[in-house]
Structure 1
Amino acid sequence: MTDRPRLNDLKDILELLYEKLGEFEKELIINSSKLAKFELKQRIKREILPDIRKYETEYWELYPQETIVISDEEAETQLIKVEEAATSIEQIPSSTYPLELISLLQEIRDKLNEPDKAASAKLKVVLPLIPAIASYELEMETEGLMYRTWKAIKGMVRRQEV
């Protein structure tokens, strides 16, 4: 059974956090002071991204999988992008990112490598893991492949929301 009120609360919280992140990112562009930029980056890293990671993960764990309708063709395309993003992150020296990220990447790899599972089923099971990796990626200032993939997947799933 879906916890619809909690899902709605999480959606509202996430909208506010993304709006806050957007404002901080605008300020980073506008502000020329190195100290102010450093402070803004630290606030993003310490205040916003951990909350986004936590709430996105909870949201997609609660989101009813049966309501996610993605064709195998669409899922296959997105899974290729997830694979590329994971590979990109894995090429960064592991000493530069948190241990939790290594665990999340391994979990995604395990789920992607499950035999005899349709692409749409694989995408549904990795869905709660992707936002956490995407927010770590933002924190680490990488290429942003997982983040862009996550935005595309999230947009695709939410368009089909009832």
Structure 2
Amino acid sequence: MPVAWGGGRENPFQIDVERFKWVFELNLFSAWRLSQLCAAEMKKSGYGSIVNITSMSSINKSPNMSAYASSKAALSHMSANLAHDYGPMGIRVNCVGPGATKTAALASVLTPEIESKMLSGTPIKRLGEVQDIAGAILYFAAPISEWVSGQVLFVNGGGVQTLD
């Protein structure tokens, strides 16, 4: 696949089944398999925290995002269900859902017009930084969140950012 990340704008009339499956392989099935592998080790100690990275796209409705958005929605739902499966073993499963964050993926599609529109719907008037997302991941990984499982924490400056 030519794109290095699991997202993108796809024309729903042109995306083929193989590309759609690839997006799910990357965004859902890989997290499911890693969760299985991690949970097997965490079960031995009776404690663990799995943090999956979903997306605001999992709840937004945007054109040309059917593969990516549905794969991230499935990841959020899978994580909530795995929280029930792994919880009795002391393993928590949560998701962090980044909003528009300054990454190479966003830079590849961001225009000044899109950024302006995103910021108009964002109370904290800036795009996210990688450390904003890292802070949410650290929260879920730390013992301070030991009674939190099956949740999605959207880190988005209080707003909803879309590419349309």
TM-score norm. by structure 2 comes to: 0.37
Greater fraction of residues in helix: 1
Greater fraction of residues in strand: 2
